[in-house]
Amino acid sequence: MTLDLTPEQDQLRDAVRALGRRYGHGYFVEKARAGEHTTELWAEAGRLGYLGVNIPTEYGGGGGGITELAIVCEELAAAGCPLLLLVVSTAIAATVLNRHGTEEQRKKHLPGLADGSQKIVFAITEPEAGSNFHRLGTVARRDGDGWLLNGRKCYISGVDEAGHVLVVARTEDSSTGKLKPALFLVPTDAAGLTRSKLDMEIVSPENQFLLYLDDVRVPADALLGESLDAGLPALFAGLNPERITVAAMGAGTGRYAIERASEYTATRKVWGGRSIGSHQGVSHPLAHAAVQVELARLMIQKAATLYDAGRDLEAGVAGNMAKYAAGEAAALAVDTAVQVLGGAGMTTEYGVATLLGAVRAGRIAPVSREMILNFVAQHVLGQDKSY
């Protein structure tokens, strides 16, 4: 692993940073408050090739890896625009399709994901199963040459912006015993698929939904991959990209908050001529948060490098650790930024308290800090599973 980015990655970082700053956190919050989406930013990022950086060139992408996508996620977040759908649609759906979809599915969906004209969201979480995916209750039953899906999903992000939902179900004959998942590309306008928007305490233009699948009929080619055997590897294929890019978003958000706060504390004077940042009670918490964010960034780089080198198992450990570290660091950075800004920290104008909900959610989703600690305890420390 090298600490230096390649010249191309450096250029990508600078270019995405410039794009993000042109829009900025004000734009992100304005869209959220108006109940609108970041359509312009998404379209421009797609036109410039940033949404497809990790998609192979033959499907209209940039041919890069998760390292490149993590750069895009981090820099947009560092500009105050943390876009969760980059994780859901670009990191998860595009990777799963590319690695386990049929050639037809790749040709049909990847070019649209790359240019930003299409989004595919991802639905695994269920009200009853929660973190225990072995309890998934959404069932796919054969129906003629197609499938009939029934079940419930919750907290599904971006359904209102997407053309398809990648639904994780289990087939009827596997409803007892170990989870044998099957993934289905379900059009968001499919008959029998309904949704209701959840009210979330997160300032974001991206929304979460409850999804109801009542006898949703899909054709045979909606099943992801060549056969039912593609399900489990496809599900796992999405995990590392998800953890690495969501960590990058967290690190970017942490950088954004620390930058906002440092600018403020370096110039704010309430005790004579000295800035409040000269008081270590103010500067040390900020410096501590900066250290945590930087450590998380290092782990993200390690995880992305391992993933792009095809070392999936090691990337799994590093990706989980990166996600944990970045989730904690982002929450610490935003909370510290709010504190050192004083009353200004709670205003919309200074643009940090608006991120409190998002960074808090980042310690729960897409995988909670506790489930990561379980993973590390079992797979790194060799401890028995308690559940």
Ligand X SMILES: Cc1cc2nc3c(=O)[nH]c(=O)nc-3n(C[C@H](O)[C@H](O)[C@H](O)COP(=O)(O)OP(=O)(O)OC[C@H]3O[C@@H](n4cnc5c(N)ncnc54)[C@H](O)[C@@H]3O)c2cc1C
Q: Which is nearer to ligand X, 198 or 291 (CB)?
A: 198
Cα–Cα nearest to 136, from 194, 196, 185, 181: 181
Cα 185 vs. chain centroid, distance in angstroms?
Answer: 19
Cα dihedral 86, 92, 94, 100 in deg (nearest 10): 180
CA distances from 154 to 104, 159, 201, 386 (A): 29, 11, 16, 26
Q: Report the DSSP beta bridge partners of residue 147.
A: 142, 218
Q: How far is the CB of 214 from ligand X (least distance, A)?
A: 19
Nearer to ligand X, 160 or 370 (CB): 370
Shortest distance, position 246 Cβ to ligand X, whole Å: 10
Residue 152 CB neighbour total at 10 angstroms: 17
Smallest distance, ligand X to C-beta of residue 38, A: 16
- The CA–CA distances, whole Å, from 377 to 289, 298, 329, 368 equal 25, 21, 21, 14
Q: Contact positions toward ligand X, by CB under 6 A?
A: 88, 121-125, 130-131, 155-157, 202, 208, 361, 364-368, 370-371, 374, 387
CB pairs under 8 A, 24+ apart, for 370-379?
371/131, 372/320, 372/321, 372/323, 372/324, 373/324, 375/320, 376/317, 376/320, 376/321, 376/324, 379/316, 379/317
In the complex with ligand X, which residue's Cβ is closer, 50 or 209? 209
**Closest approach of Cβ 272 to ligand X, in Å?**
44
Cβ atoms of residues 41 and 81 within 8 Å = yes
Which residue's Cβ lies closest to ligand X? 130
Residue with smaller CB distance to ligand X, 196 or 280? 196
Closest to ligand X by CB, 52 or 366: 366
Q: How far is the CB of 321 from ligand X (least distance, A)?
A: 16
CB of 248 to ligand X, least distance (A): 16
Is 77 or 290 the residue whose CB approaches ligand X more closely?
77
Amino acid at 69: L
Rank residues 73 and 306 by Cβ distance to ligand X and give the closer one: 73
Shortest Cβ 2–ligand X spacing (Å): 33
Between CA 131 and CA 119 the distance in angstroms is 25
